[in-house]
């Protein structure tokens, strides 16, 4: 069934049918009713993409993520896709492969092809974000805030999540911990570190150790500490007696745990380990084992799309959205063992 068939049945031109279906111009009420009746009788379904082009719209939103292999992002993307369909829009996805230098050009490509863009966990610098904001396409930052820019943002409260972790460790009796850090260009990573800085006032000293985002990075970081002499059989603590490790995400925590256990240090009796994000790792990690913090990723994706839709219709009120994190207590955090007691 084509638009020409609808025009024939209604006794009007195809251009009249197009104007009625796309709402691009006023049409006499009687003609519009004839077109609508013909559409109903024939069961004609307009092509959404073609309608969007007629209105000067692409009918799609773009999403840029740093790493599609990271299991943090699929839940967000599923929620984005579901919410976008509710608005009659498609989704186009690109990844930067953790290359901050490529993000600006990738975002521009999405802006050329889409009606609006979600920059998810973007690593690009603030100056690049400011330049992108000057373009005509609406843009929303996801898990990134840029104070001073008018660009809307939707984020998980990583600072609040890490504050919960610090409070938990302090209550257990830990006084020194390690943080296996994520990418230096990550705003979410900086928020975690900001929480650790504040935790010093409550008696928890956290040492930041450069790491990364994968289980391999976590394993390598702990192995490097061991190889440098920071880990020994007589004193399994790191850096003057650290008794806990907080990881950038659950993947890093998994790698750290493997490296600890290879050296005979059990978790949590010899070292507590806490992750972040509550990733679906049941195939690699005993279900329910890892203590972690998590923000609702489905809510994050939906809120991001809702915000972008409001921005595209000039109804956004300018307030950022912050999604709280919850502490999930499981089996990898416990009080530190008494000084001098050997891990087993």
Whole-number pLDDT of residue 237:
47
Q: How confident is the model at residue 17 (pLDDT cuts 50, 70, 90)?
A: confident
CA–CA separation, 152 vs 281, rounded Å?
Answer: 32
Provide the pLDDT for residue 54.
Answer: 53
Instruction: Report the mean per-residue pLDDT for the chain.
Output: 87
Which residues on adjacent β-strands are paired with residue 294? Answer: 326
39-94 pLDDT, tens per residue? Answer: 888 888 766 555 555 555 668 999 999 999 999 999 999 999 999 999 889 999 99
| pLDDT given for residue 285 in this prediction | 52
Region 173-179 average pLDDT: 95
Specify the long-range contacts of residues 82-91, CB closer than 8 Å, at least 24 apart. Answer: 82/301, 82/302, 83/301, 83/302, 83/305, 83/306, 84/305, 87/305, 87/309, 88/48, 88/59, 89/59, 89/60, 89/61, 89/115, 90/49, 90/59, 90/60, 90/61, 91/60, 91/61, 91/62, 91/63
Considering only 171-180, 219-228, 230-239, 317-326, which range has the smallest mean pLDDT? Answer: 230-239
Predicted confidence (pLDDT) per residue in 246-277, tens digit: 999 999 999 999 999 998 899 999 999 999 99
Residue 283 has pLDDT above 50, yes or no: no
Mean pLDDT across 166-182: 96
The answer, as to whether pTM is greater than 0.75, is: yes
Segment 96-153, tens digit of pLDDT? 999 999 999 999 999 999 999 999 999 999 999 999 999 879 999 999 999 888 899 9
pLDDT tens digits, 198-249: 999 889 999 999 999 999 999 999 999 878 766 544 444 445 589 999 999 9
């Amino acid at each position: 069934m084509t638009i020409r068939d609808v025009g024939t049945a209604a006794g009007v031109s195809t251009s009249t049918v197009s104007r009625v279906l796309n709402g691009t111009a006023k049409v006499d009420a009687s003609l519009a009713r004839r077109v609508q009746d013909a559409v109903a009788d024939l069961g004609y379904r307009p092509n959404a993409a073609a309608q969007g082009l007629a209105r000067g719209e692409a009918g799609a939103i773009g999403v840029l993520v740093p790493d599609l292999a990271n299991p943090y992002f699929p839940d967000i993307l599923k929620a984005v896709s579901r919410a976008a369909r509710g608005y009659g829009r498609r989704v186009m996805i690109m990844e930067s492969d953790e290359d901050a230098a490529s993000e600006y050009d990738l975002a521009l490509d999405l802006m050329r092809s889409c009606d609006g863009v979600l920059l998810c966990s973007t690593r690009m610098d603030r100056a690049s974000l400011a330049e992108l904001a000057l373009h005509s396409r609406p843009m929303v930052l996801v898990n990134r805030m840029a104070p001073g820019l008018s660009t809307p943002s939707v984020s998980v409260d990583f600072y609040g999540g890490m504050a919960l972790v610090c409070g938990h460790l302090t209550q257990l009796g830990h006084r020194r911990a390690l943080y296996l850090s994520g990418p230096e260009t990550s705003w979410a990573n900086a928020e975690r570190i900001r929480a650790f800085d504040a935790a010093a006032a409550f008696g928890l000293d956290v040492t930041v150790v450069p790491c990364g985002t994968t289980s391999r990075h976590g394993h390598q970081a702990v192995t490097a500490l061991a190889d440098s002499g920071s880990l020994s059989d007589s004193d399994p603590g790191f850096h003057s007696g650290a008794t806990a490790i907080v990881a950038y995400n659950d993947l890093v925590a998994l790698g750290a745990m493997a490296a600890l256990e290879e050296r005979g240090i059990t978790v949590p009796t010899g070292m507590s380990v806490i992750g972040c994000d509550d990733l679906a790792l049941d195939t690699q990690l005993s279900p329910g084992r890892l203590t972690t913090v998590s923000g609702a990723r489905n809510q994050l994706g939906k809120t991001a799309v809702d915000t972008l839709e409001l921005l595209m219709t000039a109804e956004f009120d300018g307030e950022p959205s912050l999604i709280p994190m919850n502490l999930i207590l499981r089996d990898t955090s416990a009080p530190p063992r008494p000084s001098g007691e050997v891990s087993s």
